[in-house]
Structure 1
Amino acid sequence: MFWSILSYQSFKRKLLTLENLKAVEDLPKAHLPSEVAYQVLINRLVAAEAQQVLDIKKEQDDLEGLVKMWSHQMKIPVSAMSLMIQTNQMSKQELKGQVFRLENDINNLLSYLKYKQENDDYRFTQISLKTSVSSVIKKFSSQCIAKKIQINLTGDSEVITDAKWLEFCLSQVIDNAIKYSPFESEIKIVINKQSIEIQDFGIGILKEDIPRLFEQGFTGYNGHEHQKATGLGLYMTKQILDRLGFDIVISSQIDQGTKVLIKKNK
């Protein structure tokens, strides 16, 4: 009975110490094996909490950077429309293009936030790749008309995947192909067995930029020079394609164009 009372009192002292603890260094020096194990446990809990705080801080910093980046991105079409109004040179086609760009950036932001929250279920069904690609091409038809770009689509294949998220990924790739293609250019899209190859003949990508294309926030030389990139499109594309079971490989040469291969994993 006496030893039980002592053990209980010792336990109460440890609880009191823990309640008043401000730093791990304030813990009394451990002597007994049970006390050493107790301190090891406390150290692990403190380290885990500290890491959680750092993770939350990083996520907040990333979100803040994202908002700043996207705000800047959205200012471009707004400024263009404002200039057209001020100079009384508002072309219906140009206005339509700027509105589309603004809507596209907003939709990409919403998709990114949904992706980060991971609250959207993937719905896998058997689909036609040609149908998905054609849907995306139709979405960008006005941009192609404005730049007189011809998109040639050949082939078809069926895969089991999430049509909505695959089309989101295709939108990022085809949007880039259109952005960085010259006027009166061509984009070739070839569908083989469970794969899509998208070839443009635009400005190309620097060799040193290619390994970093899928990094979050990386825009590379083209993004800085032409102010057309947020650095999130290809990052999201790679992450989502991984979940859908696709590989993506990009090859490019300056002034000759870029080829993007999206292929279903075996």
Structure 2
Amino acid sequence: MIWKFLNEYRVWYSLYVIMSAFYFLMFYLYRLPLSYFANSLVLNLTFLILITIWQYIRFRRKLLILHNFVYVEELRSLTAPSEKSYQELITKLKDKEGEELLAAKTKTEELQNLIKMWSHQMKVPLSALSLMAQTNKLEGNKVEQQLIRLQNYLDNLLTYMKFSQNKDDFRFEDLSVSSLMRQLIKKYRVSFLAKDLSVTIQGEWQLKTDRKWLSFALSQVLDNAIKYSKNNGTIAINIEDKRITLSDQGIGILDEDLPRIFEEGFTGYNGHQHQKATGLGLYMTKQVLENLNLAIKINSQVDKGTDVIIFKK
């Protein structure tokens, strides 16, 4: 502790020694009585020692407070201007740390709730597969349909994890949007057949983008169209230069839900009513498209259908 004190005030003590040396030199050169200098030096040293003891006690108390304090209020006894500035700085740092801890805790709780919700949803296709196995009714189309649902849930979860950690792996290339949509339609063919849905696709758009992430975004839109379409309905895909429009004849979206459909975790009336939504599909779709320099817009009328438009910014 003493060495810390001397180290902090070493400039002042060094200055005192230098000044004393100068005064001694002046007395010596002008042949002044050195006894006067000695008496003055003793008096100054006495004051210096007393001030040093007082400063050391304050210094020691300050270090103990700084070392052991938990709350900023415990620093109120430190009243020097510089100490007040340090208190303000510590307060800001503690506030920021508290905000970061709260944000981290909230994010952890959200992730836990998300995983619980996803686990619950994944039980549905797993239960269906288990029932098929137990009753020896493993029909190919129905099994494939449940496997597609499982794959979509896992893809959504992994995508969300990547975005929540601010990671991406975009690789841009020239591709045919029409060809990509046809691949997705082929992937979901079992889901189309299960609801007797017909699909039309026309037009072309040569786009430089990331194949995997655009495929993810389009699959979310197509999956929603299938999910909320009525049996024997039609899904129309119109591709133009710098624009894709996917229209269905499904149950539609309430007007009051439309402004919030891209919010994280928002499911709306349809999601609650049909218990098919996690509230992250469209949120992640919008995030992915923004990273691809694309935008998305949705128009919808209840019981008439929904139009999803993806276009170049």
Q: Corresponding residue for 1:4?
A: 12
2:181 to 133, 142, 145: 133
Partner of 1:108: 156
Describe the SS at the equivalent of 2:117: helix
Render the CA deviation track for 1:131-163: whole Å, top value 9, x for unaligned. Answer: 322222222122112222222111112233222
Q: Which has the higher contact order (CA 8 A, sep 6+)?
A: 1
Q: Which has the larger radius of gyration?
A: 2
Alpha-carbon shift at residue 30 of structure 1 (Å): 4.5
The residue number in structure 1 matching 2:214 is 166
2-structure distance, mates of 1:162, 1:17? 57
| 2:261 is the counterpart of 1:213 | yes
CA offset at residue 90 of structure 1?
Answer: 4.0
Partner SS for 2:307: strand
Q: List gaps (5 residues or longer) in structure 2.
A: 1-8, 14-51
Distance 2:107 2:62 in 1: 35
1:51-90 alignment, distance < 5 Å: 51-90=99-138
Partner of 1:120, secondary structure, is coil
Q: Is the 8 A contact 2:254 2:302 kept in 1?
A: yes
Q: In the superposition, relative to structure 1, how do residues 90 and 24 fare at CA in structure 2: closer, same or farther (>3 Å)? A: same
C-alpha displacement of 1:113: 1.4
Q: Say whether 1:20 aligns with 2:28.
A: no
Which stretch shows the higher mean deviation, 8-17 or 82-91?
8-17
Partner of 1:204: 252
The change in CA–CA distance for 1:133 and 1:38 in structure 2 (over 3 A counts) is same
- Inter-partner Cα distance in structure 2 for 1:183 and 1:258: 15
Offset, 1:12 = 6.6
Change (3 A) 1:161 1:29: farther
Counterpart of 1:176 in structure 2 is 224
Indicate conservation of the 8 Å contact 2:62/2:78, yes or no.
no
CA distance in 1, matches of 2:81, 2:142: 76
Q: Is 238-247 or 165-174 further displaced after alignment?
A: 238-247
Q: Please say which of residues 124-133 and 195-204 is displaced more in the overlay.
A: 124-133
Task: Tell me the SS of whatever aligns to 2:306.
Answer: strand
Q: Is structure 2 residue 202 aligned with structure 1 residue 194?
A: no
**Partner residue of 1:263?**
311
TM-score by length of 1: 0.90
Cα distance in structure 2, aligned partners of 1:13 and 1:4: 20
CA distance in 1, matches of 2:86, 2:165: 36
Tell me, in whole angstroms, the C-alpha distance in 2 between the residues paired with 1:221 and 1:129.
Answer: 31
Which residue of structure 2 aligns with residue 231 of structure 1? 279
The alignment status of 1:40 with 2:88, answered yes or no, reads yes
The structural deviation recorded for 1:115 is 2.3
Residue identity matched to 2:12: S
Question: For structure 1, which runs of at least 5 residues remain unmatched after alignment?
Answer: none
The size of the alignment, in residue pairs, is: 265
3-state SS of paired residue (2:160): helix
Structure 2 CA distance for partners of 1:22 and 1:193, relative to 1, 3 Å: same
Identity, in percent, stands at 48
SS of the counterpart of 2:251?
coil
